[in-house]
Amino acid sequence: MMVPDYALISEIRLYSFGFEASRRLAVKMVKCLSLSSEQLSPQFHYDFGMRTVTSILLAARNNRNNMKDQTEDIMCMKALYDVNIPKFLANDIPLFKDITRDLFPGQELPDFRKIEFEEKIHEACKKFDLIGSDRFMEKCYQLLDTNTVRHGYMIVGDTCVGKTECLKVVQTALTSLNQIEEFKGEYKTTKTLYINPKSLAQQNLYGQYDERTNEFAPGVIPKLFKKHIDLDDSEEDNAKTLKWIIMDGPVDAEWIEDMNSVLDDNKKLCLASGDSLKLKDSMKIIFEVEDLIYASPATISRCGMV
C-alpha cells in the first residue's frame, strides 16, 4: 500500500483533456487541496482525497470544452471553486479563496452566472411563494454545478433551511429551460422521486432471499433503478430526462454502506442475488440529510456536498 502521487495523476489526466500547462496546473491543484486540509476547520463532510481530485479534473475538462475564450488557469480555478466551495461552511470560504489567490496570483474569476437560469429560478420562486435571495440563488448555482460533476451528492443542513425548496426550484427551472428550443441541449427535463430510507427495513430496501422458495425478492431501490434504466433505454439520446432519486432521511452505516458501489465511478448497485444494476448517466442519487455524524468517511468521499 502506498500513497498515490496526486500531482502525477492530475498531470496525465489534464494532458489527456488537452491542457498545455498540465504540470504546473496539477501541482497547484494538489497544493490547494493539501493546504485546505491543513488550514480549514475540521468537519465531518470535508474530503480532500483522490475522489475530490477526480471531480476537480472532470470539472476542468467540462470547462475546457465550454470556455474556449478563457485561460487554462481560469478553467482550473473555476473547477476548484465549483467542486469545493459548495461544501464549505461560511467561515472557511474566505480562507479557501485566499489560498487559491496565492496559488493563482493575478487571476480573477469572471462572473459566470447564466441569465436564463437566474430568470427561471426567480419564476420558480414566485410559483412556490419563495423569496429568491442572493444566498438562495447561490445555493441553486452550487446545486447545478455539483449536479454536473457528480452522480451522487448530499444536501446537508438543519430542518427548515430550504433543502427541499432548493431542489424543487432547480428542478422546475431546468424543466422550464428544456421547453425553450435554444437551451434544449444544455438543460434537461428533470423528474424527482423521494424515498425515506429509514421508513423501510433493510430487506425491503434492497431485497432479500425467501428461505422457503430460495428466490430473491428485490426491494424498493432495485425496482426503481430497473424501472428508470428501462425508461432511459426507451428514450432517444437527445431527449433523455434527468431522474433524481432523492433519499430524504438520516444517513447511517446501516443502510448507506450498500450504496457505496453505486456512488463509485462504476455506478453499479450490487445485490445479494449476485446481480448488478448499472446507473445511467441521466440518473442522479441525492441524499437530503440533516447531519453526517453517523456517515463513514468511505461514503462521504464518494459524494459531492452542498
Residue of 124, 114, 119 lying closest to 144 (CA atoms): 114
- 167 & 279 share domain: yes
Residue 32 has pLDDT above 90, yes or no: yes
What's the rounded Cα separation, in Å, for the pair 147 and 217?
A: 32
Q: Which element (helix H / strand E) includes 193? A: strand 190-195
Nine cell digits for residue 9: 495523476
- 213 & 268 share domain: yes
- 267 & 192 share domain: yes
What's the rounded Cα separation, in Å, for the pair 66 and 70?
A: 9
Q: Is 150 helix (H, G, I), strand (E, B) or coil?
A: coil
pLDDT at 259: 86
- How many separate domains does the chain show? 2
Model's pTM, two decimal places? 0.84
Q: Residue 239: pLDDT band by 50, 70, 90 thresholds? A: low
pLDDT at 269: 87
Average pLDDT value over all residues in the chain: 87
Among residues 47, 78, 103, the one where a domain terminates is: 103
For residue 12, the enclosing domain spans: 6-103
- 120 & 201 share domain: yes
pLDDT tens column, 79-111? 999 889 988 988 999 999 999 999 998 888 887
- 224 & 143 share domain: yes
> Cα dihedral sign for 13, 14, 19, 21?
negative
- 142 & 257 share domain: yes
Nine cell digits for residue 270: 450490487
Residue 292 lies in a domain: yes
Residue 228 lies in a domain: yes
Residue 241 lies in a domain: yes
Residue of 264, 277, 268 lying closest to 54 (CA atoms): 264
Residue 109 lies in a domain: no
What's the rounded Cα separation, in Å, for the pair 155 and 304?
A: 9
